[in-house]
Structure 1
Amino acid sequence: MSDEYDVVVIGGGAAGLEGALMLARARRSVLVIDAGDPRNAPAAGVHGFLSRDGVPPTELTGIGRNEVRRYGGRIVEGTVADARRVEDGFTVTITGDRVVRARRLLVTTGLVDELPDVPGVRERWGRDVLHCPYCHGWEIADQPVGVLATGPMSVHQALMFRQWTDDVVLFRHTGPEPTAEQLEQLEARGVPVVEGVVDSLVIDDDRLTGVRLADGTVVERAALVVAPRFVARVDALASLGLETEIEPMSGGQFVPADWSGLTKVPGVWVAGNVTDIKAQVLGAAAGAALATTALNNDLIVEDTNRAVAELRARQQKGA
């Protein structure tokens, strides 16, 4: 493995691999650093991705890795311990103290899902504890579904999942009391509100069968919808000066960028969920495709300016 690259991609999910593929096809030297632990690993399949619907997440990344390598891109399994700006680009330290240099960085590290502190939620996350109807709604269609209210978007979630099943209940838990208008909407759609704090999930034969309230009541459910807080995974990149902002609707954290994915840190682009917390897999990949065309154009400008300076130096020397 070389120690110098045009671009180092930090994170090897759909966004990172799409970016690396585009860059490798543009004949850029590119290295992808990935821990091999995708956020969507618990899910049985990726959905809504045209031509890849239902493919297991690890299979999708395996396909992507092979495509990147086909064009000369490099992939190393590991995590980034540190990344710093230097005079002519960046240094990136990989676990194990290997240091590589890059002219530009593409950060596609994704998110951390901060889940409600209810026993069973983390263990069943991505299987029968869900958040996105477009990712999992078809798989739980016509089944009894519960929505765990923890914030202002919980009623909206209940009304959304009502599209896939007519058996939806809203567990009030720690969420705000629904307004009169919301209660009318829920009643009109046949979504009852269950008062009381949820104590835990009932798991039987490796599947969710119910939701237990603090008073011991068990409401039979086959799936539970929760609303995680999405937090950009950039702690290891603090030395770059990447800042996060709060997304007002969900309270999640993301790295802001311009239309092309360029951050406030010159030479650092972002793509995927680290900057677009609502993007599904296909959208994350599309965002990376856009970002890498802008990134590559930035390198073309730098290459051209350097070549012009060298030409002028030769002409001056010849004169």
Structure 2
Amino acid sequence: MSTTHTVDVVVIGGGAAGLNGALMLARSRRTVVVIDGGDPRNAPAEGVHGLLALDGTPPAELLRRGREDVRRYGGRIVAGRVVSAGRDDDDDFRVELADDTVLRARRLLVATGLRDELPDLPGLAEHWGRGLVHCPYCHGWEVRDEAIGVLGVGPASLHQVLLFRQLSDDVVFFRGDVELDGRTRARFEARGVRVVDTPVAGVESDGHSITGVRLADGRIVPRTVLAVATTMLARTDGLDGLALPTEDVQHGRRVVSGPAGTTAVPGVWVAGNVTDLTAQVGASAAAGALAGAHINADLAAAEAEAAVPEPFSPASEAALTARIVGERRHGLPLPA
């Protein structure tokens, strides 16, 4: 089993949140290692959208540039999968990878993202990220004016209908088990949205693209794009030893966090989709940067405290305070 010296921060996750957090830390002259599992959530997408000055950039290209940025300031990128993480005997963190590599760190930033659970519907999954979409802000412009179908899987689907209707005049809502009150039906009708109450049996395609939705009674409703609200689950594989608290929310399950990505576990921060399930790439990157800055500040405070000579008595504290006051008042140091 290979080991390394203790670094300031190990970042678990090489997406936008993890890389931007690592960038902030590396620019602060922190020793930082990013563990990149190599399976970003947005890999099937043709481009990242809604990101100022980088709109349309392929996800792989965006991450390649991000890795280059981190390396430019001395950060390391390690390809691997975490199998365990927890505190070591000396109160630092120990992170073990699937290839038996062991990393040790004073602080951790968890930016592992999430995984999407799709409805168990025949023919659906193979179109994920292309004809099957979930976010009108990520993919909406690209499917504008298409024949769009929204699959009803919960309350979020009602919101999706209105957002995708903004992008196309041809929207059909396949209700499934979602209950519709009279007011909602009236709103959909007023906006020209057709509601299909018959259960969906599967998705039709030509081998490459979606062509329609097959209903339980055998009818096929022609569609070229389907939208679905996925169940979004924070990726926590291999992190059980950290005992990070999670909570179930409307859209799935997230790691609980406080300001700047702090967690209930001292020394561990989180950023991006692992805690904010609906964050787009820009928001995830910003959260990573904020967490990185706070980790650096935490380390700086700890280092300053550790540098104070012991014992530090009340008398010595009073003398130091008087010295600082004198320096500020007169602009010159007082005699020692």
Tell me the equivalent position of 1:103: 106
Structure 2: how far apart are the matches of 1:6 and 1:105? 9
Tell me the equivalent position of 2:211: 209
- Pair 1:286-2:286 in alignment: yes
| SS, match of residue 259 in structure 2 | coil
Structure 2: how far apart are the matches of 1:218 and 1:44? 28
Tell me if the contact between 1:33 and 1:79 (Cα under 8 Å) persists in the aligned partners.
yes
Structure 1: how far apart are the matches of 2:150 and 2:309? 62
Tell me the equivalent position of 2:60: 58
Which of 69, 72, 75 in structure 2 is aligned with 1:73? 75
Tell me if the contact between 1:3 and 1:99 (Cα under 8 Å) persists in the aligned partners.
no
Matches within 5 A, 1:38-53: 38-53=40-55
Offset, 1:3: 3.3
Tell me the equivalent position of 1:11: 13
Structure 2: how far apart are the matches of 1:121 and 1:298? 46
Unaligned runs of 5+ in 1: none
Unaligned runs of 5+ in 2: 317-336
Per-residue CA deviations over 1:102-158 (Å, capped at 9, x if unaligned) read 000000000010110012221111111011000000000011000000112212211
Which of 140, 147, 172 in structure 1 is aligned with 2:150? 147
Matches within 5 A, 1:116-127: 116-127=119-130
Offset, 1:181: 1.0
- Pair 1:296-2:299 in alignment: no
For normalisation by structure 1, the TM-score amounts to 0.94
Letter matched to residue 165 of structure 1? S
Tell me if the contact between 1:17 and 1:64 (Cα under 8 Å) persists in the aligned partners.
yes
Tell me the equivalent position of 1:224: 226
Per-residue CA deviations over 1:206-230 (Å, capped at 9, x if unaligned) read 1111111122211111100001111
Offset, 1:308: 1.0
Matches within 5 A, 1:117-266: 117-173=120-176, 175-247=177-249, 249-250=250-251, 252-266=252-266
Q: Over aligned residues, Cα RMSD in angstroms? A: 1.6
Aligned residues: 311
Tell me the equivalent position of 2:87: 85
| SS, match of residue 84 in structure 1 | strand
Structure 2: how far apart are the matches of 1:179 and 1:205? 37
| SS, match of residue 68 in structure 2 | helix
Tell me if the contact between 1:202 and 1:212 (Cα under 8 Å) persists in the aligned partners.
yes
Tell me the equivalent position of 1:306: 306
Structure 2: how far apart are the matches of 1:307 and 1:226? 55
Per-residue CA deviations over 1:84-112 (Å, capped at 9, x if unaligned) read 11233100001111111000000000001
Structure 1: how far apart are the matches of 2:156 and 2:284? 23
Offset, 1:26: 0.6
Structure 2: how far apart are the matches of 1:66 and 1:153? 38
Structure 1: how far apart are the matches of 2:247 and 2:143? 34
After superposition, the Cα gap between the structure-2 partners of 1:203 and 1:309, relative to the gap in structure 1 and judged at 3 Å, is farther
**Between Structure 1 and Structure 2, whose CA radius of gyration is higher?**
2
Structure 2: how far apart are the matches of 1:284 and 1:255? 14
4+ residue runs over 6 A deviation: none
Percent identity, aligned pairs only, is 56
Offset, 1:2: 4.2
